[in-house]
A and B are shown apart, each in its own frame.
Chain A
Amino acid sequence: MDPYSAEGELINIHTHFYQSQYQQVIDFDTSSFSPENAIPARVLKLRARLALGQAEDVLAEVQGETIPDLEAIGALAEFNLGKTDSALKTIEKLAASAGDNVTVQVVGGTVLQAAGKSEEALALLSKHQGSLDAVALIVQIHLQQNRTDLALKEVTAARRWAQDSLLVNLAEAWVGARVGGEKYQQAFYVYEELAQGSSTFSVQSLIAQAVCEIHLGRLEEAQSALEQALQKDPTNAEGIANLVVLNSIAGKNNTEELLESLKKANPHHQLVLDLEEKSSLFDKAAAKYSAKA
């Protein structure tokens, strides 16, 4: 039986993971799982811990493991700790030796993409056989490459064989947020459903809901959603970043403080780096002009 099917053992923990409910994943009681699901469950737990920033612990735990799944996790942990070269080396080795392992594909693809090697990531992921995890990652990579057309194709294909799966819904929402128009509303519904259910709630979903609301021009709703999210997790970098954007759009003047707290939460956040870069670009460009007198 497919362990990820509705009756499978892994369905719940897997769902928690993709709903960004990482703590629930970690706390999930997997003691009664059958042995063949032990590794996938452990991989999910380790990935959840990585998502929560416990890279050092995870690395220590999988040190010396020879199962490809765990080696891949180790590489991701290394990558998160800034050991990019060694992480990439491991992944390249695994891609060659165990490229058909779905964990290697997904985790390896994540590492490669995060390291900016999108093509390699896609090449590795292309080996997957009906893994929604891989599909979701492919969609995200395409979106990060600004290839909305390919992402859309991937989602449409997945939708045909994996009807109403969470991952397909999420991937569709990602694409929707990029495509826009009516799709904004559809993406909003996906996140709203997650964020408003008490068992499916996660701060990330709430933030995503707010993002959709920003795109829909519903600034007040977005504001309250983001504030609620930040109340639950005051240092959530995405939450702060989007609140910066929202306040900026609304013409409020308090963005400086928020940017400061964003820098504290994640000094390497895209928004921070971007604004710094643009600020110096501005200075450089502005210096070319001066009045005649």
Chain B
Amino acid sequence: MQSSPGMLTKFESKSSRAKGIAFHPKRPWILVALHSSTIQLWDYRMGTLIDRFEEHDGPVRGVDFHKTQPLFVSGGDDYKIKVWSYQTRRCLFTLNGHLDYVRTVFFHHELPWILSASDDQTIRIWNWQNRSLICTMTGHNHYAMCAQFHPKEDLVVSASLDQSVRVWDISGLRKKHSAPTSMSYEDQIARANQNQTDMFGNTDAVVKFVLEGHDRGVNWVAFHPTMPLIVSAGDDRLVKLWRMSETKAWEVDTCRGHFQNASGCLFHPHQDLILSAGEDKTIRVWDLNKRTAVQSFKRENDRFWVIAAHPEINLFAAGHDNGVMVFKLERERPASAVHQNTLFYITKEKHVKSYDFQKDVESPTLLSLKKLGSPWVTPRTLSYNPAERSILVTTPNDGGSYELVNLPRDGSGAIEPSESKRGSGNSAIFVARNRFAVLNVANQTIDIKDLSNNTARSFKPPAGTTDIYFGGTGNLLIITPTTVYLYDIQQKKTTAELSINGVKYIVWSNDGLYAALLSKHNVTIVTKTLEQISTLHETIRIKSATWDDAGILLYSTLNHVKYALLNGDNGIVRTLDQTVYLVRVKGRNVYCLDRAAKPRILRIDPTEYRFKMALVKRNYEEMLHIIRTSSLVGQSIISYLQKKGYPEIALQFVQDPTTRFDLAIECGNLEVAVEMAKELDKPKFWTRLATEALSHGNHQIVEMCYQKLKQFDKLSFLYLTTGDHSKLARMAKIAEHRGDFTARFQNALYLGDVEDRIQMLKEIDLYPLAYTTAKSHGLEEECEAILEASGLTEEQLTMPALGKPLVPPKPVVSTFKSNWPTKASSQSYFESALLGQVEGLSLEDEPSAANGVDAEHAAKDEPAENLIAIAGEDDDDAAGWDMGDDDVPEIENDFVNVDSAEAGGAGSCEADAWARNSPLAVDHIAGGSFESAMQLLNRQVGAVEFGPLKPRFLEVYRSSKTFLPALANLPPLVNYVRRTIDETDLRKVLPIIPRDLEHLASNDLQKGYDSMKANKLEDGVKIFQGILHAILVNAVSSESEVSEAKKLLASAREYTIAMNIELARRNLGSADEVAQDPAKLKKSLELAAYFTIPKIEVPHRQIALLSAIKVAIKSKNYNSALGFANRIIANGGSSKIVENAKKTKAQCERNPTDSIEIEFDQFAEFEICAASHTPIYSGAPYEECAFDGSKYHSSYKGSVCRVCGVCEIGKHGSGLRLFS
């Protein structure tokens, strides 16, 4: 038999054979004693193994939790009983005494006693407080398999392989051990001794009844929790029910069904059921009153050894050959439906009741559904039709059936429905006031029926349909395991669908616009047209949901009530101590049904989610109200606001100065930021404030910050930019006092104070500079004074050419007087609302955020421009000044000395060695010595513009080190990647160079060719320039590679020039523009012709020639075209191109003249100037780039090479070194 519909497995574990099980009375824990000697503690709700206890030798058979203390007891085949603390996770002590396997152990429900049954044929009672054996019950003459205390009375029941069940009276023992404590020590001894002598008389525990009836050994026995009943299970495959009175006990009946040894049995704690488990791999459920089988569950391979019930919750556990399973017998979700202010629901007794939310009143039973389905299966769903006041109920019984009944006007007790219509189906719901839909899963049909239960229409739902829900008027929501469909009943077709797995319940919002689709771990919110709005995931199982009137979804998991906003934000509203099913929210009340189908009201605090909802809806009035009326503070709300981009609102909640400062900076509220910075008064905060204030153009705050930070240079510059000369003068004074000559010089420069500068230069004995300064400002007297002081005459001096004296610009506007104007924008709508400045707030009002942003931008841009302008000026000024100091120092040979070995214990790193070991720029770069690398490049090839080389520099540098993780909490060990892998001598090692010659030739060059073919010339120029830069900063391993590198270099140069020429032609303008302007037309024809000159690969040259022909013919320059065609033919190659060229040739030969004269002589020797794109005829003077060899007219000498973009044209160096 398969698992019957009612049995639901909640948890399964995999392990060795499970022999003992115990539920924790309060927590979701289960102890499992294993044949492998381990005891496991599982959280069956989360499915996690909490702990393992391994001290027994051999199998453990019995375990039990203490009801109140953090203790449990175990007994095993090592004859030992152990008492453990699961808090400290250790065995507290061991009770020794049994002489054979211990089968079961149980705590007494109130006394500090443990009851054990053992194969030594005895049953013993131990006191775990003083850790002593207090009673030994003898009488069984075979293994005692099980012994349990009676839950209330002083009785013990035991089962033995001697085929008997015995009931023992232990009231004597209780009397003895709950005697007054005033007993003297002697008395105690006497009594203890007396006990010993009682070994055989045994008045402490006497056999009350011996129950004989099993004709094989009995494995398990249990008392009924309330009635005087006993159930036992034996190797005769029978489960027997016994009854006892004060004086006698007798067999009531036998449950037959197990076809192998029955190993365990128990009474259902709340219902009139017996559960039993056996080695026939089944768990069976029996009706206590009729002793008939109700359900049976079979496992494929695992024999059951033990079964246990949770004392409170409707949960059971069974141990088998490969672990345990926790299960329940039936769904506990009460069927219910809400209509307006009334909840209709079905109780466990299958009574239909209603509940009025407003009055908080439960109705008497309206109807009894006892006859619906089988007695042990409660209905699954309830659908209510207000028009007819009728209900549709479905039950999983008999493969699913439904019943349509009318509710009486008012309930007057358990009335059987007067008239009912029923049929088979798995789901049945009302879809209109006179129609309902029934899903039959087995046939995969949906029937639409009228109220007299006649089928009006019928259709096939999508394959695999498992459930249906109301989908809005005239619509059904059809659920399959992977998809939800919106089905229009009238049109008989699906109008929308959404892929979503495992939806189990659907809850509509009160306005019918949204629905929440609940699956085991997900809530998905959709619109009424099934468009997904948001989804969220829960690790704990989701049980139910209901909508607030404001459009907030409240849902319950096993242990929480949570909320979800439409945007998917969610949070916890409260915790739950037991599982409930939410049915409605109203204000602070959440109405729900508990598992016993009792309506309950939970109080909640909706502030948090209301506030968040208001925030989402920008309902500032409501937010304001909430802030004012409730104590809504705390880190979570602050970080939420910050995360959502409302720092200015978060600011209202914070007291902590650091956080306030952070938030103020974030929302640009300088006032608060200043206030907080003053309070905190730390350089870190002033620096940040200065940066923020600068971006606001609030230079007064900036000034204050700089003052606080004592950043004199910055202050001076600030005063210069704001034109505040008086303060600048003060800065000069301060610099003088500080003896800081650089600062003083700078301030004098800013102020245009020549005298002070000269004075200062004299003070520090820099007479030549003082003289030059004086001279350039025409201060002849001063000059003479200086000459006199230094004992020289004017004739003895050779003066450099003097530029114009430096005069700082005069401020046009005194911007220092006030801050740069910004649009007042820092105050958000919300803030002003809080300050009470806004009246008549309304929902429609949008905050002025958008304006604010604009204003801020405007404010930011303005000062930024000013700054740049001023900075630029400053540079120019500096250019006028003698820059002699900055000149590149001369270096005698190729080796650049790099400082090594700092003092102290530390050594120098390998990267430093690289620079020492190599004269190549690239090795200096890899070692991080950029300055010396630049010096080398400058000297070798006249490199002056390093900007384009930056990516290459960083690429080389980045490749040089790896990070080897070593000990915890320390930074990784840095190691240096070498290209000399086998070398270990630090004087010879050299760094790895990314993109070596081979890589360039096989990757980058091909990409460049591709871009030529694909006519992507801009990209092409970039690629070829990239190749040039990579060659410039590279190393090769032999002289022969040097010549290869030169070839590659030449190729990259030619392509760059060619592409630049063609790009220049294209940039002349559109075809029309060019055609109309004779000058441009001429230039265009020339450039097209020059495009064919650079020495690029033949196939690419053909492309250039083709393009030149095209341009020439268009302007009727047949002679030129003829020349190009001849060259194509001469080049040969692809026959198609050659054929076309021949045609062109024939066409042009008829009229070999040019209509526009251009400067292009196809027979002359010339090269193209890479800057002007005009010919340099042989013999004419030219300059070239020392690195790439591109040629230029002499007038371009001194400017940056157009091809590599790095070197100065005409500057000849020692030549590029790639190999040492």
Bound pair (A, B): yes
The answer to whether the Cβ of A216 comes within 8 Å of any Cβ in the partner chain is yes
Interface string of A14-37 (1 = CB under 8 A from B): 000100101000000101000000
The answer to whether the Cβ of B907 comes within 8 Å of any Cβ in the partner chain is yes
Contact of A140 among B907, B945, B950, B967 (CB under 8 A): B967
User: Are A288 and B950 closer than 8 Å at their CB atoms?
Assistant: no
Instruction: Give 6 closest A-B pairs by Cβ, nearest first.
Output: A293-B1198, A286-B946, A292-B1198, A51-B968, A146-B907, A181-B984
User: Are B982 and A140 closer than 8 Å at their CB atoms?
Assistant: no
For the complex, give the distance between the alpha carbons of A215 and B961 in Å.
9
What are the residues of chain A within 8 A of B992 when measuring CB–CB? 249
User: Are A251 and B973 closer than 8 Å at their CB atoms?
Assistant: no
User: Are B943 and A180 closer than 8 Å at their CB atoms?
Assistant: no
The answer to whether the Cβ of B857 comes within 8 Å of any Cβ in the partner chain is no
| Nearest-neighbor residue (CB-CB) of B879 within chain A | A290
| Nearest-neighbor residue (CB-CB) of A77 within chain B | B969
User: Are B965 and A20 closer than 8 Å at their CB atoms?
Assistant: yes
| Nearest-neighbor residue (CB-CB) of B938 within chain A | A289
Contact of B967 among A136, A214, A217, A292 (CB under 8 A): A136
User: Are A278 and B978 closer than 8 Å at their CB atoms?
Assistant: no
Interface string of A263-279 (1 = CB under 8 A from B): 00000001100110011
The answer to whether the Cβ of B884 comes within 8 Å of any Cβ in the partner chain is no
User: Are B938 and A278 closer than 8 Å at their CB atoms?
Assistant: no
For the complex, give the distance between the alpha carbons of A181 and B975 in Å.
13
User: Are B945 and A282 closer than 8 Å at their CB atoms?
Assistant: no
What are the residues of chain B within 8 A of A282 when measuring CB–CB? 930, 946, 950, 953-954
User: Are A286 and B950 closer than 8 Å at their CB atoms?
Assistant: yes
Tell whether A122 pairs with B984 under 8 Å between CB atoms, given A241-B963, A289-B944, A290-B944.
Answer: no
How many whole Å from B527's CB to the nearest CB in chain A? 35
Tell whether A215 pairs with B1198 under 8 Å between CB atoms, given A251-B1003, A278-B928.
Answer: no
The answer to whether the Cβ of B840 comes within 8 Å of any Cβ in the partner chain is no
The answer to whether the Cβ of B710 comes within 8 Å of any Cβ in the partner chain is no
How many whole Å from A16's CB to the nearest CB in chain B? 12
The answer to whether the Cβ of A127 comes within 8 Å of any Cβ in the partner chain is no
The answer to whether the Cβ of B959 comes within 8 Å of any Cβ in the partner chain is yes
Contact of A285 among B931, B958, B963, B999 (CB under 8 A): B931
How many whole Å from A166's CB to the nearest CB in chain B? 13
The answer to whether the Cβ of B974 comes within 8 Å of any Cβ in the partner chain is yes
The answer to whether the Cβ of B292 comes within 8 Å of any Cβ in the partner chain is no
Contact of A270 among B90, B950, B963, B999 (CB under 8 A): B963
The answer to whether the Cβ of A11 comes within 8 Å of any Cβ in the partner chain is no
For the complex, give the distance between the alpha carbons of A182 and B981 in Å.
9
Interface residues of A in 155-196 (CB under 8 A from B): 170, 174, 177-184
The answer to whether the Cβ of B348 comes within 8 Å of any Cβ in the partner chain is no
Interface string of B862-896 (1 = CB under 8 A from A): 00000000000000000000000010100000000
The answer to whether the Cβ of A128 comes within 8 Å of any Cβ in the partner chain is no
For the complex, give the distance between the alpha carbons of A118 and B989 in Å.
27
Which of B90, B928, B970 has the largest count of A CB atoms less than 10 A from its CB? B970
What are the residues of chain B within 8 A of A48 when measuring CB–CB? 968
Contact of B975 among A149, A211, A250, A279 (CB under 8 A): A211
What are the residues of chain A within 8 A of B827 when measuring CB–CB? none
What are the residues of chain A within 8 A of B1196 when measuring CB–CB? 293
Contact of A207 among B947, B965, B971, B981 (CB under 8 A): B965
Tell whether A118 pairs with B974 under 8 Å between CB atoms, given A137-B967, A278-B954.
Answer: no
What are the residues of chain B within 8 A of A122 when measuring CB–CB? 905
For the complex, give the distance between the alpha carbons of A184 and B984 in Å.
10
For the complex, give the distance between the alpha carbons of A251 and B953 in Å.
13
The answer to whether the Cβ of B576 comes within 8 Å of any Cβ in the partner chain is no
User: Are A31 and B90 closer than 8 Å at their CB atoms?
Assistant: yes
Contact of B981 among A118, A174, A217 (CB under 8 A): A217
| Nearest-neighbor residue (CB-CB) of B956 within chain A | A248
A-B contact pairs, 26 of them (CB 8 A): A50-B969, A51-B968, A110-B969, A113-B970, A119-B905, A146-B906, A170-B966, A178-B910, A180-B978, A180-B981, A181-B984, A208-B964, A208-B965, A214-B977, A245-B977, A248-B958, A248-B959, A250-B994, A278-B928, A282-B946, A285-B946, A289-B944, A290-B945, A292-B1208, A292-B1211, A293-B1199
The answer to whether the Cβ of B675 comes within 8 Å of any Cβ in the partner chain is no
The answer to whether the Cβ of A147 comes within 8 Å of any Cβ in the partner chain is yes
For the complex, give the distance between the alpha carbons of A143 and B975 in Å.
9
For the complex, give the distance between the alpha carbons of A248 and B960 in Å.
9
What are the residues of chain B within 8 A of A143 when measuring CB–CB? 973
How many whole Å from B783's CB to the nearest CB in chain A? 30
How many whole Å from A50's CB to the nearest CB in chain B? 6
The answer to whether the Cβ of B904 comes within 8 Å of any Cβ in the partner chain is yes
How many whole Å from B898's CB to the nearest CB in chain A? 14
User: Are B975 and A178 closer than 8 Å at their CB atoms?
Assistant: yes
| Nearest-neighbor residue (CB-CB) of A289 within chain B | B944
Interface string of B1099-1143 (1 = CB under 8 A from A): 000000000000000000000000000000000000000000000
Contact of B905 among A118, A184, A245, A286 (CB under 8 A): A118
The answer to whether the Cβ of A90 comes within 8 Å of any Cβ in the partner chain is no
| Nearest-neighbor residue (CB-CB) of A76 within chain B | B969
User: Are A291 and B1208 closer than 8 Å at their CB atoms?
Assistant: yes
The answer to whether the Cβ of B388 comes within 8 Å of any Cβ in the partner chain is no
| Nearest-neighbor residue (CB-CB) of B907 within chain A | A146
The answer to whether the Cβ of B957 comes within 8 Å of any Cβ in the partner chain is yes
| Nearest-neighbor residue (CB-CB) of A175 within chain B | B973
What are the residues of chain B within 8 A of A114 when measuring CB–CB? 969-971
User: Are B984 and A180 closer than 8 Å at their CB atoms?
Assistant: yes
For the A-B complex with A114-B969, A178-B973 known, give 20 more contacts whose Cβ atoms are closer than 8 Å: A50-B968, A50-B969, A51-B969, A136-B967, A140-B966, A177-B964, A177-B975, A181-B983, A207-B965, A214-B977, A242-B962, A245-B963, A249-B977, A249-B994, A270-B972, A271-B961, A271-B963, A274-B961, A282-B950, A293-B1198
User: Are A174 and B964 closer than 8 Å at their CB atoms?
Assistant: yes
What are the residues of chain B within 8 A of A286 when measuring CB–CB? 934, 946-947, 950
Which of A122, A170, A174 has the largest count of B CB atoms less than 10 A from its CB? A174
Interface residues of B in 972-1031 (CB under 8 A from A): 972-975, 977-978, 981-984, 989, 992, 994-995, 999, 1003
